[in-house]
C-alpha cells in the first residue's frame, strides 16, 4: 500500500496575520494560495525552505511529488467561532489506490466518513477522532461502487 504525507490543515481567523507568523516568525515560505469564491474560503500552503529545496512544483505551485510537508492555512471568509479543536482540520495523505485503502480501512472497522465518490478524496477518523484526508495520487480513479453512491457518515 502506497501512502505519502501531504499536509496538516488549520483554520485561521486572520489569514495575513497568521501567514506573517509562519513566514516572518518561523521562516516558512508561502508556496501556493487558492481563493475559492464559491466556497467563500482561501487556502494558503506553506513549507520550510529546507523542504522546498527537495521539492519540484508545477506551474500552479502544486508539488509534482509528495514528500513536501506543508501546513495548509484555511481562512473562511465568513466569521466563525472555532471551538472544540475545530481550528485544527486534518492530516492529509496521498495514496496509490484510494479504493484499496478505504476498503482495507472498512474491513478494519473504520467508518468512512466521506466516501471517495469521486475517485479522488475520502475522509476517515483515527481512533482518537483526528480527521484524516485521503487523496488519490495522480488523476482521480473512475467512480466505483459501493463508494460512488455511498452517503457521508458523521463529520470530518
- The catalytic site residues sit at 133
What is the C-alpha separation between 73 and 45, in angstroms, rounded? 6
In terms of Cα–Cα distance, which of 67, 70, 85 is closest to 31?
A: 70
Cα torsion angle, 84, 111, 154, 114, sign? positive
In terms of Cα–Cα distance, which of 73, 130, 66 is closest to 94?
A: 66
Q: What is the residue whose three cell numbers read 485561521?
A: 12
In terms of Cα–Cα distance, which of 116, 82, 123, 76 is closest to 100?
A: 116
- The helix (run of H) or strand (run of E) holding residue 12 is strand 3-12
What is the C-alpha separation between 48 and 69, in angstroms, rounded? 8
Amino acid at each position: 500500500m502506497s501512502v505519502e504525507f501531504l499536509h496538516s490543515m488549520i483554520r485561521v481567523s486572520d489569514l495575513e496575520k497568521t501567514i506573517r507568523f509562519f513566514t516572518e516568525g518561523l521562516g516558512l515560505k508561502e508556496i501556493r494560495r487558492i481563493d475559492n469564491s464559491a466556497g467563500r474560503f482561501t487556502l494558503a500552503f506553506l513549507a520550510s525552505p529546507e523542504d522546498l529545496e527537495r521539492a519540484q512544483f508545477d506551474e500552479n505551485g502544486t508539488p509534482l511529488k509528495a514528500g513536501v510537508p506543508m501546513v495548509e492555512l484555511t481562512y473562511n471568509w465568513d466569521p466563525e467561532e472555532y471551538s472544540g479543536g475545530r481550528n485544527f482540520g486534518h492530516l492529509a495523505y496521498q495514496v496509490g489506490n484510494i479504493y484499496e485503502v478505504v476498503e482495507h480501512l472498512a474491513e478494519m472497522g473504520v467508518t468512512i466518513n466521506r466516501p471517495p465518490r469521486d475517485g479522488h478524496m475520502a475522509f476517515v477518523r483515527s481512533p482518537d477522532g483526528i480527521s484524516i484526508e485521503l487523496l488519490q495520487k495522480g488523476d482521480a480513479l473512475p467512480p466505483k461502487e459501493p463508494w460512488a453512491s455511498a452517503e457521508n457518515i458523521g463529520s470530518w
